[in-house]
């Protein structure tokens, strides 16, 4: 079955990108701000605080946002609040929302935030950068920094040669948009990007794993083309070991094959759409459990706790994310941290 282009998860892609690459984003879009931060002091995520300040309901959102607190190198400014939004569609209320966040952050923390909007939409004419309002003799203008991804189309080859992982993510986004309804072309681009990432970039192993996961998640293909892509990557032998070991590849294949068969059979036996969906959910849970055991070994207390946790998860997208984490994380502790972060959303 061919993937529905409407289901290509740009929002999930950029959410993961923001969780991983705050500093590379600032180096890419706001280098002066990036240079003023004491990165050795670490980054404090303020996701829960940001959710409480949200001017919108969660349902139907088409944007990704993040708030972090960092320390500055300048002794006169002890902390810096950074608010980032990645906007995937044109929105008439966008400028007001950016101002509302900024004013609520100021009220909540007593500090003004640096506000940055990454415009990941398809409309070249939409360029919000300020909110302006007033009445009679009273006026207020709020300006925020922006970067428009469409403007970077002419530089896409340079983005792929960049040492900045965020530049690579922009290139992946743009290549995915270029190959809408061109699945054979997407296979060619996905394979080329994977080979480039594995063979030619100088990213760390951790960054290669993360970028590979994001690349494969966004550039979705029908099952037959996905298998061609997997075969091409496996043919790289040594380099692919940086991303997926043979054991991990087998776990991924078994999760695909066995899980689909089990889910279909259960759906047929029950003979109901609801049963088929439940079969798919249980199949996805089982994929995660099997992958965890194969990667990190048996541990009865941890496995029981994981089973109890997974029993409460019914969203297939979330279970797929946990499966990817089980395949890609370097340790059980790292996987458990991902589980905690995913469930806290």
Query: CA 317, 322, 323, 325 torsion: positive or negative?
Result: positive
Q: How far apart are CA 246 and CA 234, in angstroms?
A: 9
In whole angstroms, how far apart are CA 75 and each of 1, 68, 92, 114? 58, 19, 39, 18
Structure tokens at 208: 């290669």
In tens, the pLDDT along 141-156 reads: 999 999 999 999 999 9
Is the pLDDT score of 220 beyond 50?
A: yes
For residue 311, give the 3-state DSSP assignment: coil
Instruction: Give the pLDDT mean for 200-225.
Output: 89
Q: In this structure, are residues 72 and 36 in contact, taking their beta carbons and an 8 Å threshold? A: yes
In tens, the pLDDT along 40-80 reads: 888 898 888 888 887 664 444 446 889 999 988 876 555 78
| Average pLDDT score, the chain | 81
Q: In this structure, are residues 235 and 214 in contact, taking their beta carbons and an 8 Å threshold? A: no
Least confident of 94-98, 102-106, 137-141, 201-205: 201-205
Outline where DSSP puts E strands in 7-165: 43-45, 63-71, 79-87, 113-119, 130-135, 138-143, 145-148
- pLDDT > 90: percent of the chain: 39
**Which pLDDT score is estimated for 326?**
80
- Quote the pTM value: 0.69
**Which pLDDT score is estimated for 7?**
60
Of 239 and 229, the structure prediction assigns the larger pLDDT to: 229
Is the pLDDT score of 191 beyond 60?
A: yes
Quick one: angle between helices 223-234 and 183-199, nearest 10? 20
For residue 72, give the 3-state DSSP assignment: strand
Q: How far apart are CA 32 and CA 36, in angstroms?
A: 7
Measured in degrees and rounded to the nearest 5, phi and psi for residue 37 equal -100, 140
Describe the chain by its helix, strand, coil percentages, rounded to 5.
60, 15, 25
| Angle, CA of 40, 42 and 44, to the nearest 5° | 165
Structure tokens at 112: 């003004």
Where does the pLDDT of residue 1 fall: very low under 50, low under 70, confident under 90, or very high at 90 and above?
A: very low
Is the pLDDT score of 270 beyond 50?
A: no
**Which pLDDT score is estimated for 241?**
58
In tens, the pLDDT along 4-32 reads: 554 678 888 898 888 899 999 999 999 99
Where does the pLDDT of residue 193 fall: very low under 50, low under 70, confident under 90, or very high at 90 and above?
A: very high
Where does the pLDDT of residue 217 fall: very low under 50, low under 70, confident under 90, or very high at 90 and above?
A: confident
**Which pLDDT score is estimated for 237?**
55
| Closest residue by Cα to residue 302 from 341, 282, 325, 332 | 332
Structure tokens at 166: 């965020």
Q: How far apart are CA 97 and CA 83, in angstroms?
A: 12
Outline where DSSP puts E strands in 59-103: 63-71, 79-87
In tens, the pLDDT along 291-337 reads: 888 778 777 678 888 888 888 887 777 887 788 778 777 788 888 88
For residue 129, give the 3-state DSSP assignment: coil
Q: How far apart are CA 47 and CA 318, in angstroms?
A: 18
Instruction: Give the pLDDT mean for 78-83.
Output: 79
Where does the pLDDT of residue 282 fall: very low under 50, low under 70, confident under 90, or very high at 90 and above?
A: confident
Q: How many CB atoms lie within 10 A of CB 168?
A: 26
CA 66 to chain centre: 12
**Which pLDDT score is estimated for 224?**
92
In whole angstroms, how far apart are CA 295 and each of 29, 146, 249? 37, 42, 11
**Which pLDDT score is estimated for 5?**
54
- End-to-end alpha-carbon separation of the chain, Å? 30
């Amino acid at each position: 079955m061919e993937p529905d282009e409407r289901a290509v998860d740009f929002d999930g892609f950029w959410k993961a990108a923001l969780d991983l690459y705050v500093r590379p984003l600032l180096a890419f879009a706001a280098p002066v701000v990036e240079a003023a931060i004491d990165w050795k002091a670490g980054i404090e995520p303020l996701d829960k605080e940001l959710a409480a300040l949200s001017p919108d309901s969660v349902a139907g959102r088409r944007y990704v946002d993040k708030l972090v607190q960092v320390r500055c190198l300048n002794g006169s400014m002890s902390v810096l609040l950074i608010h980032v939004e990645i906007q995937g569609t044109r929105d008439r209320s966008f400028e007001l929302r950016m101002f509302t966040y900024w004013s609520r952050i100021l009220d909540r923390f007593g500090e003004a935030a640096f506000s940055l909007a990454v415009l990941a939409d398809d409309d070249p004419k939409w360029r919000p950068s300020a909110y302006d309002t007033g009445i009679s003799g009273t006026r207020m203008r709020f300006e925020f920094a922006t970067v428009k991804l469409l403007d970077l189309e002419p530089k896409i080859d340079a983005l792929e040669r960049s040492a900045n992982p965020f530049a690579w993510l922009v290139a992946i986004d743009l290549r995915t948009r270029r190959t809408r309804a061109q699945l054979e072309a997407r296979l060619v681009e996905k394979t080329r990007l994977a080979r480039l990432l594995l063979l030619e970039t100088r990213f760390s192993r951790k960054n290669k794993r993360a970028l590979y996961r994001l690349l494969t998640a966004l550039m979705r293909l029908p099952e037959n083309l996905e298998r061609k892509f997997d075969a091409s990557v496996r043919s790289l032998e040594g380099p692919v070991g940086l991303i997926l070991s043979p054991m991990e590849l087998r776990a991924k294949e078994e999760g695909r094959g066995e899980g689909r068969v089990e889910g279909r059979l259960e759906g047929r036996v029950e003979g109901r759409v609801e049963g088929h969906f439940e079969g798919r959910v249980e199949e996805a849970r089982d994929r995660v459990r099997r992958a965890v055991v194969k990667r990190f070994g048996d541990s009865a207390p941890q496995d029981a706790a994981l089973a109890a946790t997974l029993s409460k998860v019914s969203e297939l997208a979330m279970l797929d994310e946990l499966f990817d984490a089980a395949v890609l994380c370097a340790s059980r502790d790292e996987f458990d941290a991902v589980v905690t972060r995913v469930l806290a959303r």
